[in-house]
Structure 1
């Protein structure tokens, strides 16, 4: 057991020699007009502050901007498009064979608010500094939004007539829950009996292997999302003047409850076989013996691995339901004892755990009837999407992401399924597709991740070029891929000829 512990710790520190690390972009060259379109879109303050409260003027402007700057998409006889609930955008690019199940590419129009004072550059000026575009939304997710639009515009301009129908959906309030954007889009698609082969949404990025000290690049593709429960804790006790305090105060009791929750996290779920175990199993295919043996047996080795992984922030979040204290309210004056104290707990729920189990854990840990619990919001974990095809199971979405990444990065990265921690609009689509994938095709290193939703969000011009390239190849690959499971006589054309006869070189 001591040797095995040493082996695991060593594994967390080694640098894998089995996977090349050089990033190679494809040959597509970004032109100045595409950069300026992107910058102009970033300058629009499409902020969403809270559910139902967003910058309506900016959202109207970005809709008009997109319509005016992508004329081929909007005027093609193949395209039907509409505004949904005033601000969200939905496109249908009709395929040549209506029997084939369509797929959907999605991103969102809105961004989170900014604190302009802590930015090095104004967050809505989209200034270019040392080849980096500084702007709110540069990563999350206007880069994907405009990358999809540029790719689709280019294909249609080149005369592409896709075999299967392609939907594009851009919600306007993802950052505030998606109730007025994605939810309304889904209602419309359900009303029209649309069933999607797969959905490609925002999610994780390419990064340097975040859980091991490797030089390898890794692309983690979200095949599920953790659930979320926000729970209000409240305590009401007699107040009064600070000069004559009671033995216990509402603030003290609630602080003690919070301390208990932070000191007693929910147990690891490694032994339950969720998406985290799937990720380790897939990772083993890239890692040589003896470490692959550990990864292939994570469930059985969980008693040992739990302690090792708990010390890593990312691994800890992968393997359990997490507990974060996000808000605390109490007191009105510095010499008055508060009668009430309230706090908000944010749980990100592991896919193998239920809300009832989480609440029971909280109740048992706090063990104080004076602390009342109230559920403010709950979103259950999403089902796990298909990630590995077999003779009877088709996983076109994941395979197309894999193959497109191999094309763009020349195979020089690990590609792993993962359970996404943040919530995305894609969770609203679970009733119209069994296969949802969450990924942004750009590189964000772990030490840079705080810029997303934080100050100095930025993207390099080269990285934006890669995003366009990715979606350009993805759309072409999807049109010549024959493992959707709904084809009769469709065969893959490895030269990548489009319906119009133009040629692309895609090595599927």
Structure 2
């Protein structure tokens, strides 16, 4: 009997060993095949701007002056309109060539936003658009190293609200164009520049009016670039060097109002359930039961696969083989707030209102929940999950605002916009690897989906882990070198966009 069983066991063991060997071989082949297919632009492309010391000082003063104008968006019904108007006058003075050039038409749209039409020499080339915004979120002096609207320079950094989001890009675009005009540049491809004044409060009167203006003229865009991801240095754990992400889509959003109404009463005779208690239970169920993990169902997996060769061992094998390891990767990612935002529709309990007096049972309790929708979800799907999670007809749901995730823009090797951005990033940021990504926040670019199917979200700045909390937070700042790199990026991007088509990229060199 013993001899009878020994042979099958040995056979099974042999099959298992062979299977493991084959699997390991497949993992390694895919890992290093992906690494070999990485490509980078090796040609010089557009020339850099050789800035004089006077021009560097001019650039610094341009940003500092912009920061000192408190273009704050407090709410959808309250903005600092005086500052918005002042900003318009400021850029006219700071960039005289832009506003006096016969190649450029400028117009104010929606009261305070700005639209520039830069005419190229070849009308057969489809125009593109550069987008940014100059309104900022509120900031109080408490906790800041320098006042938030001072534009002060400290240890090589310019501090102030808007240095990251998003006056840096506004000034960078205008300064790049100013320097190009100064050097006699005449574009071949026409392009548009749009600066919104209310992006922080949804862009309904800025970006949307710009869209309406362009649509009325029958404009279609080759591609559009707005703020978004950046060059991430140490932000993505396990990468060997800084990597650049280009947002090819952004999450959808639902702002949901929840309310419970019950008869009021005296606190000395409370009912078994109050409006506060019922709504609190509903909110608790939403928080304890997050939306399903959707990693791999949207374009976010391409982020890690495209960067697989940039991860240290053994993460490079894991990222190159998400067909096998995605469940593990997604479970690890959901442990942190930033990673969790990539893998699912997030649920944020943001407002709770009820009660006016300690001895009165309130008749109404209200709450606001904000959902940011994963690209694989729709508004209706998320609302159904919410209803099934709460499972209480006493809780009334009403949608305040909602929109589905944005379409995924193409990022293949034949797409002109994506490849032109990639080419420019490689030139300015030392051949930083580039990959597509999903923006977890929303931008003005979402209003432009009817003008182009190639919408990209990238801010030409380097972000380190400690910089992430500065966005809408304390001590927002940018280095002088970082500001100059922004100008270099737009300076080269405008010239690179004059190409009729994107030439073929080259293999990344070993020394990189």
Structure 1 gaps of 5+ residues are: 8-16, 20-24, 484-490, 493-508
- State the match for 2:341 in structure 1: 317
- Report deviation, 1:244: 2.2
CA distance in structure 2 between the partners assigned to 1:381 and 1:138 by the alignment: 28
2:121 counterpart of 1:103: no
- State the match for 2:64 in structure 1: 39
CA distance in structure 1 between the partners assigned to 2:461 and 2:336 by the alignment: 24
| Structural RMSD (CA) | 2.3
- State the match for 2:299 in structure 1: 275
- State the match for 1:331 in structure 2: 355
> In the TM superposition, what whole-angstrom CA distance separates every residue of 1:317-362 from its partner, at most 9, and x where no partner exists?
1111111111111111223222211111111101111111101111
- Report deviation, 1:120: 2.5
CA distance in structure 2 between the partners assigned to 1:448 and 1:332 by the alignment: 40
Which of 387, 404, 416 aligns to 1:396? It is 416
Structure 2 gaps of 5+ residues are: 1-19, 25-34, 39-47, 505-512
Q: Is the partner of 2:372 in helix, strand or coil? A: strand
- Structure 1 segment 227-242 matched on structure 2, within 5 A: 227-242=252-267
- State the match for 2:43 in structure 1: none
2:490 counterpart of 1:471: yes
- State the match for 1:435 in structure 2: 454
Q: Is the partner of 2:446 in helix, strand or coil? A: helix
CA distance in structure 2 between the partners assigned to 1:299 and 1:53 by the alignment: 49
2:251 counterpart of 1:226: yes
- State the match for 1:69 in structure 2: 94
2:430 counterpart of 1:410: yes
- State the match for 1:501 in structure 2: none
CA distance in structure 1 between the partners assigned to 2:51 and 2:229 by the alignment: 23
- Report deviation, 1:83: 0.6
- Report deviation, 1:118: 3.2
- Structure 1 segment 117-132 matched on structure 2, within 5 A: 117-132=142-157
Q: Is the partner of 1:376 in helix, strand or coil? A: strand
- Structure 1 segment 80-99 matched on structure 2, within 5 A: 80-99=105-124
- Report deviation, 1:116: 2.6
Q: Is the partner of 2:347 in helix, strand or coil? A: strand
CA distance in structure 1 between the partners assigned to 2:386 and 2:222 by the alignment: 39
- State the match for 1:426 in structure 2: 445
> In the TM superposition, what whole-angstrom CA distance separates every residue of 1:416-443 from its partner, at most 9, and x where no partner exists?
2111011100000110011011111112
CA distance in structure 1 between the partners assigned to 2:124 and 2:427 by the alignment: 29
- Report deviation, 1:67: 1.2
2:479 counterpart of 1:460: yes
> In the TM superposition, what whole-angstrom CA distance separates every residue of 1:375-413 from its partner, at most 9, and x where no partner exists?
100122111111122xxxx312221221112111221x3
- State the match for 1:55 in structure 2: 80
Contact 1:186 1:429 in 2 (8 A): yes
CA distance in structure 2 between the partners assigned to 1:481 and 1:294 by the alignment: 39
Q: Is the partner of 1:464 in helix, strand or coil? A: helix
What is the TM-score normalised by the length of structure 1? 0.86
- Structure 1 448/479 Cα, relative in aligned 2: closer, same or farther at 3 Å? same
- State the match for 1:12 in structure 2: none
CA distance in structure 2 between the partners assigned to 1:446 and 1:481 by the alignment: 38
Contact 1:28 1:469 in 2 (8 A): no
What is the TM-score normalised by the length of structure 2? 0.85
Deviates more, 1:205-214 or 1:66-75: 205-214
2:201 counterpart of 1:176: yes
